[in-house]
Structure 1
C-alpha cells in the first residue's frame, strides 16, 4: 500500500464526546509530566529560571490541555460527516495541535525564563521542535498501530457472520410513511428499499429499480423515518446518518471505523456501520439470516 492510499484509510473520529477528550488530555498531561520530570530529556539552564523547575515541568505538561481542548471543540463543530474522517486528517489535525502547543510554550517564556532572547526565532523553533519530539510517538507509532488493530478486530468479527442470507420474503413489505406534511405521506416498498441517509433537514431514500436504483428526497428526520419502520426486523440504523435494509447487503468488509456495506444494485458507493453499532448489527444481521 502506497503512502497516499494509506493516509486515505478511514479512521475513527474520537472527538465527539468532549468529556472523554478532556479525560484523555489530563491522562496525557500526567504521562508527559512523569516522563519529563523523571528522564529530563531536554537540556535546561537553571540559572535562567524565574520559578522552580518542578513548576516549569508542570506548566509545560498542563498547557496542552486548554490548547488541545479548544481546538477539538471547534473541530467537532466543523466536521459534518465523521464517516469521511481519515488517518491523514487525524495526522494533520494532531500536527496542528502540536504546533499550537509549541507556540503557547514559546509565548509563556517570559514568565518562566530571564533570557533576553526569549522572543527570538531560535527559541520559537526550539519550543515547537521539543513539542513535536514528545508528540511524535503519538503521530508515528500509536496512530498506525491503532489503525491496524481496529482493522484486524473488525475483520476478525466479520468471519463469524453468515456469508449468505436465507431467501425469506415478508407477506407484507409495504410501509405507510407519515411526514410532517400530510400531503407528502408516501408508501415504501421494503423489497426495493436499499438505504436512507441524512441530507440536512431531509433524508434521501434509495430504491432499486428495473434500471438500477433511484433516490427520493423526503421532508423527514432519520429518527422519525426509523421509528415508523420499527416493526420490520431487517431495517437497521447502522450509523447516526444511515438506515439500511439488511436484506439488501451484498458484502461486508471491515475498516478502522467499523464495517463497510456494499448493497445489491448500488455500485456507486458504500454504507458505513459505526463502531458503536457493530455489536447490535452482528446480532440483527445474524437473526435475519437464520
Structure 2
C-alpha cells in the first residue's frame, strides 16, 4: 500500500510555469470562480451589485493564481524544476495556489469591509470549491500528454533502424587521426587550449554541468568522458552543421543516430543510447523540435 502511494506521488507530471500559459490558466480560474459562485452561491441572478462583487473576487483569484503559479516559480526556479515535477509536488502546489487565493479573498473582503469569515474558514471553502476541478484539469492534461508522448515514442522506435549507427568505429580522439573519408568534429574549450577531435559517430551525448560540459564519446567499444570548459550553447553552435546532433534538454545534447530506444512519459521522452548506461531526457519544451529533427534525419538515411 505504502509502496503504491509512494509510486503514485513520484509519477512525473509535466507542468508549464511560463508566463503566457499561466496568464491563460489564471484567467480561466477567475472565470470559474465567478461563474460557480454566481450560479450556485445563492442570491438573485439579476443583482448587478452582486455580480460586480463576484467580479472583484474573480479578479483577486486571477492575481493570486498568477502569483502562485508564475511569480513564485520565477523567483524559486530550483524548487520549481519542471524536469523533477511529480504528482506529489503538484498536489502541494495546488494547496499553495488555494492558500494564495484565500489570502486574496481575505484582502478583497477587508478592502470592502464585508464578511466575518476567519482565514481558515475561507481556506476550507476555497479548497472545497477549487481543489477538485483544479486537480482534474491538471491530471487530465497529464494523461493527454502521456498518451501523446507514448504514441510518438512508438513511432520513433519504428524509425530507429533507419538511422542507427553502423558498428562502432575505433579510430581517433585527441591524438589519433580520423578516418580520411569522414570529416572530424572538433570540440574546444572557451580559451581554445583544450580540444577534442572525434569522428561524428563516436560522439554519444554532451551534458552541461555548471561552467563545464561533459562530452561522452565511444572508443574501442568503451564509453569515455572528456570535460571541457565550455557551454552547451557553444557546443550546439559547433555542431550546427551536423543535423544528427540535437539539443533535447536544457542540459543535454544528443546524437540522434546513437538512439536505440525511446520511452514516453508525461514530461517528454527518455532516450536509451547505444553503449550508454544512463538514459537521456527530452524535455517538454524540446519535444516538437526533437520529433521534427528525428523525422528529417530518418528520411535522409
TM-score by length of 1: 0.83
Contact kept in structure 2, 1:56 and 1:112, CA below 8 Å: no
Matches within 5 A, 1:202-241: 202-209=212-219, 212-241=222-251
Q: CA RMSD in A?
A: 2.7
Which one is further off, 237-246 or 279-288?
279-288
Q: Number of residue pairs matched?
A: 275
The alignment status of 1:277 with 2:286, answered yes or no, reads yes
- Residue 25 of structure 1, CA deviation: 0.9
The alignment status of 1:242 with 2:252, answered yes or no, reads yes
Partner of 1:6: 8
Partner of 2:58: 61
Contact kept in structure 2, 1:179 and 1:185, CA below 8 Å: yes
Which one is further off, 166-175 or 122-131?
166-175
Matches within 5 A, 1:161-172: 161=156, 162-166=159-163, 171-172=181-182
Q: Which runs of 5+ in 1 are unaligned?
A: 45-50
Query: Using the alignment, how far apart are the partners of 1:218 and 1:234 within structure 2?
Result: 21
- Mark the CA change 1:31 to 1:166 in structure 2 (over 3 Å): closer, same or farther: closer
- Mark the CA change 1:185 to 1:272 in structure 2 (over 3 Å): closer, same or farther: same
Contact kept in structure 1, 2:203 and 2:217, CA below 8 Å: yes
SS at match of 1:172: coil
- Mark the CA change 1:167 to 1:93 in structure 2 (over 3 Å): closer, same or farther: closer
Matches within 5 A, 1:15-164: 15-16=17-18, 18-40=19-41, 52-71=49-68, 72-80=70-78, 81-113=81-113, 118=116, 123-161=118-156, 162-164=159-161
- Residue 137 of structure 1, CA deviation: 2.7
Partner of 1:47: none
Deviation per CA, 1:45-81: give whole Å up to 9, x if none: xxxxxx9433331222111222232332231342244
Contact kept in structure 2, 1:212 and 1:266, CA below 8 Å: no
- Residue 212 of structure 1, CA deviation: 4.6
Deviation per CA, 1:137-187: give whole Å up to 9, x if none: 344322222222111111112333314245555942521123320212332
TM-score by length of 2: 0.80
- Mark the CA change 1:68 to 1:214 in structure 2 (over 3 Å): closer, same or farther: farther
Deviation per CA, 1:203-246: give whole Å up to 9, x if none: 22222355853433322121111111122221111123221011
Contact kept in structure 2, 1:91 and 1:139, CA below 8 Å: no
- Mark the CA change 1:136 to 1:180 in structure 2 (over 3 Å): closer, same or farther: same
- Residue 95 of structure 1, CA deviation: 1.3
Contact kept in structure 2, 1:165 and 1:247, CA below 8 Å: no
Contact kept in structure 2, 1:201 and 1:220, CA below 8 Å: yes
- Mark the CA change 1:13 to 1:205 in structure 2 (over 3 Å): closer, same or farther: farther
